[in-house]
Chains A and B, each alone.
Chain A
Amino acid sequence: MALIRKGKSFKWHRKHLLGLRELSAEEITYILDTAKGFEQISTRSVKKAPPLRGKVVVNLFFEDSTRTRTSFALAANRLSADVIEFTKKASAVSKGETLLDTARNLEAMGIDIVVIRHSAGGAPKLLSRNINACVINAGDGFCEHPTQGLLDVYTIRKIKGTLEGLKIAIVGDIAHSRVARSDMWAMTKLGAEVIFVGPPTLMPGRVSELPVSVSYSLDEVIEKVDVINMLRIQFERLGGNPFPSIREYSHYFGLTVDRMKKAKPDIMVMHPGPINRGLEMESEVADGRNSVILEQVTNGLAVRMAVLFLVNQAAAQGV
């Protein structure tokens, strides 16, 4: 496998993937290049490679997930690791077994990689400080979702060739979105211009200090962007009443067939899933020719294989 880029002496050294904020453009590119090498495994008749043989990966999910958990499990399987599923509802208060105790117990069984999703921002970091296994963040609160960010830039790079100079709109509930944050870090580091679009009540605090511009008008933004990433309205995270009604939200921020008429013909339409059809996006758009939503899912597998491979390699080298 052509995993090492020729002519570059870059060496991956992280045994954890906690977020994209702390990664350099070079590191992100390295993951994407590594993922490219893994993409073809899924097209073989025998969909398996041996790099993680004998390793144990735990999917430690404290929040609901279908896509990400399955994708990580499949990625680990394809690299010949053994996968354990561990699902538990996180408690917001200090009751019952603590996160660290759970992780330490799992570690005592001899696991190598923990893939964690948790409702508390920073939970993966807490874990990485306290256990020896590799930690991969599969989404923490509204902090980061690094593999989603990676698969998003991977998908864009694959179709557009580069992110350099692209204009990308991220639309919806930015305040509560870990995808928006990971996307922002990855996309801007790779040279794209990111515009957050949504009502002011769904913008994060101090958004002016982030490396993005902000618009409250999807109609103005849609004409100029090369990529549009429609976030899911996360009813479970919305506090209070950030917009008056779903009807009004869809009117201003829904990606409709009508709105798409104003877009560039080759605009890429993305969504991290699961889609609320008819709310943030009309079905015709979700399933339309500009949509890359299912390609994102496919690419997620290669990206997660790359991440599992790299952290394991770094751990093996005793970093």
Chain B
Amino acid sequence: MNSELLIKNGRVIDPANGIDKECDVLIADDKIASVGKVEKPARIVIDAAGKLVTPGLIDIHVHFREPGDEEEETIASGSAAAVAAGFTSVVCMPNTNPPIENETDVEYIHRKARKARRTHVYTMGAMTKNLDGVELAEMGFMAEAGAVGFTDDGRGVQDPAVMLRALKYAAMFDVVIAQHCQDNAFAGNGVMNSGYYSTILGLPGIDPLAEEAMLWRDIQLVKKIHPGRIRYHAQHISTAGSVELIRAAKKEALPITCEVTPHHLLLTEECCAEYDTNYKVNPPLRSDKDVEALKAAIAEGLIDALVTDHAPHLQSEKELEFLAAPFGIASLECALALFVKALIEPGILDWPALIRLMTEMPANIIGVDKGTLGVGKQADITIIDPKAEYEIDVNKFRSKSRNCPYHGWKVTGKVEKTIVGGEIRFEA
């Protein structure tokens, strides 16, 4: 074979196949050729002793801002950031300008991604036209073009009849319907969590009920049409109440999944006390109690994916009054270390469990054949130094944006190499 790549002596973690052992991974062309003891020579040999060899990480919730806001991020800059952070696949949200709402838009994303040649870039399509929550977008055409799900992310679909229609219609295409759960009537013009800090800071709050009310409603809608070919995914859940709803839904074996971001595991509303707009994010940073509930939910296995909700913004936009600044945290480039800090360091998850939530599980949510090191699968692999310590420096980000509140944090867990389709696309 003309292009063989051998990764030797690493701790190979492949949750999908129940593997966690020191061994080798052989890649031939762009596929996994074998996992085990490999004695034969290869063209390129990587010594991964002391390192973790895992399926390529997958982030099913990023904003790459293209088309429309290329000054904040592009598919090229975003996917360069992604690959440096160990992600071999990402899923862009459709709330671009204009939104991703037809097959041409989907193809545009794919074309830009091919040109960038960094990671696999998938996209979700808009659930409703112009994300207005009124008329369904052309889900069929978009699904055929490769959209891996539908959402109006950035806002929730307010009208229950429209949401029910979207869930029913999507069943034709076996795609996931993802929701940014936020009832606008409850959320009002809020800019942070509704609580003690919003009161003393004099800022309008977003009540946890804004999220929970819509999640509760959606669960009722799912129940109404279950069983059917339906998959519902709650994006970035952030409250203890949402955890309760997810627990109950899973008990009933409803086809419901959910995701959690690093900021909802590491930061609280108290971070907003100095009006630093890098902490302005939607859903907002909540209370200690909510953070603990989310961590407990992860320990319990209620959470299906870890995502960044990477939301880049210009410094000039974030330099505004807290009321006026846009929502969003850019955290793609330090994501792995953040999850290590939030989940591995306190002993909530071990490495295989963490990797599973960043590979196999998110791949299943969007229905792509990824997130495993199974023989014959496309060779997307991340090599991680689990002990490497470093300081997060936003100035070194490949992302175009710097709106990251973790600047200066000392963290552990660094991506050494990222292999996409058998090709080394990133080396530290």
Query: Which B residues are CB-close (under 8 A) to A239?
Result: 188-189
Give the chain A neighbours of B201 by CB distance below 8 A. Answer: 121-122, 143
In the complex, A224 Cα to B189 Cα: how many Å?
Answer: 38
Chain A residue nearest to B202 (CB atoms) is A143
Q: Are A98 and B316 in contact (CB under 8 A)?
A: yes
Q: Which of A130, A181, A209 contacts B202 (CB 8 A)?
A: A181
Which residue of chain B has the shortest Cβ distance to A95 in the bound complex? Answer: B324
In chain A, what residue has the closest Cβ to B318? A94
A175-199 residues at the B interface, CB under 8 angstroms: 178, 181
* Cα distance A210–B195 in the bound complex, in angstroms: 11
Interface residue B200 (Cβ < 8 Å from any Cβ of A): yes
Q: Is the CB of A178 within 8 A of B202?
A: yes
Question: In whole Å, how far is B324's beta carbon from the nearest beta carbon of chain A?
Answer: 5
A121 touches which one: B202, B316, B317, B319 (CB < 8 A)?
B202
Residue from B195, B198, B322 within 8 A of A120 (CB atoms) = B322
The residue that B323 contacts in the complex, of A21, A100, A121, with Cβ under 8 A, is: A121
For residue B106, give the distance in angstroms from its CB to the closest CB of chain A: 29
Chain B positions within 8 Å of A142 at CB level:
202
Q: Given A205-B198, A206-B199, do A98 and B322 touch, yes or no (CB 8 Å)? A: no
Contact with B along A12-55 (1 / 0, CB 8 A): 00000000010000000000000000000000000000000000
Q: Does B320 contact A (CB under 8 A)?
A: yes
Residues A94 and B317 in contact in the complex (CB < 8 Å), given A126-B275, A141-B323, A205-B198:
yes
A158 to chain B, nearest CB (A): 28
Interface string of A156-187 (1 = CB under 8 A from B): 00000000000000000000001001000000
Q: Which of A136-163 contact B (CB under 8 A)?
A: 140-144
Does any Cβ of A come within 8 Å of B203's Cβ?
Answer: yes
A144 nearest CB across to chain B (Å)? 7
Contacting pair A209 B196 (CB below 8 A): yes
What interface size band does chain B fall in? 20 to 34
Instruction: Classify the interface of chain A: helix, strand, loop or mixed.
Output: loop
**A57-71 vs B: 1/0 string, CB under 8 Å?**
000000000000000
Tell me, yes or no, whether B135 is within 8 Å of chain A by CB. no
Q: Report if A94-B203 is in contact (Cβ < 8 Å); known contacts: A122-B321, A123-B321, A209-B196.
A: no
- Does A106 count as interface, using CB distance less than 8 angstroms? no
Does A125 lie within 8 Å of B323, measured CB to CB? no
Taking the closest CB of chain B, its distance from the CB of A214, in whole angstroms, is: 13
B323/A94 in contact, CB under 8 A: no
Candidate in A93, A204, A207, A210 with the most chain B CB atoms within 10 angstroms = A204
Task: Please state if A206 and B202 are interface contacts (CB–CB under 8 Å).
Answer: no
Q: Answer whether residue B194 sits at the interface, using C-beta atoms and an 8 A cutoff.
A: yes
Assess the B205–A140 pair: CB atoms within 8 A: no
Q: Within the assembled complex, what's the spacing in Å between the Cα atoms of A119 and B320?
A: 13
Q: Check B323 against A120 for contact (C-beta < 8 Å).
A: yes
Q: How far is the CB of A284 from chain B (nearest CB, A)?
A: 33
Task: Give the residues in chain A near B326, CB-CB below 8 Å.
Answer: 94
Q: Give 1 or 0 for each of B29-65: 1 = CB within 8 Å of chain A CB.
A: 0000000000000000000000000000000000000
Give the one of B195, B274, B319 with max A CB within 10 A: B319
**Nearest Cβ on chain B to A73's Cβ, whole angstroms:** 24
Q: In the complex the two chains form, what is the Cα distance from A209 to B197 in whole Å?
A: 10
Q: Which residues of B contact A141 (CB under 8 A)?
A: 202-203, 323
Instruction: A121 to B47: give the CA distance in the assembly, Å.
Output: 55
Known: A93-B324, A120-B324. A21 touches B202 (CB 8 A): no
Question: Could you mark each residue 65-103 of chain A with 1 if its beta carbon is under 8 Å from any beta carbon of chain B, else 0?
Answer: 000000000000000000000000001111000111000
Q: Is the pair B202, A205 in contact by a Cβ cutoff of 8 Å? A: no
- A117, CB-defined interface residue at 8 Å: no
- Central interface residue in B199, B202, B203, B320, by most chain A CB within 10 Å: B202
A84 to B199, CA, bound (A): 33
On whether the beta carbons of A144 and B202 are closer than 8 Å, the reply is yes
Question: Could you say which residues of chain A place their CB within 8 Å of the CB of B316?
Answer: 98
* B113 touches A (CB below 8 Å): no
Please list the residues of chain B having a beta carbon within 8 angstroms of any beta carbon in chain A: 188-189, 194-196, 198-203, 205, 274-275, 316-317, 319-326
List 22 A-B residue pairs with CB atoms under 8 Å apart, sorted by A's residue number: A92-B323, A92-B324, A94-B320, A94-B324, A94-B325, A118-B321, A119-B323, A120-B323, A121-B322, A126-B275, A130-B319, A140-B202, A141-B203, A143-B200, A143-B202, A143-B203, A181-B200, A205-B205, A209-B199, A210-B199, A210-B200, A239-B189
Question: Beyond A92-B323, A125-B275, A140-B202: 15 further Cβ-contacts under 8 Å?
Answer: A94-B317, A94-B326, A98-B320, A100-B319, A118-B321, A120-B321, A122-B321, A126-B321, A141-B203, A142-B202, A143-B201, A144-B202, A181-B200, A181-B202, A205-B196
Q: Which residues of A are at the interface with B, using a C-beta cutoff of 8 A?
A: 21, 91-94, 98-100, 118-123, 125-126, 130, 140-144, 178, 181, 204-207, 209-210, 239
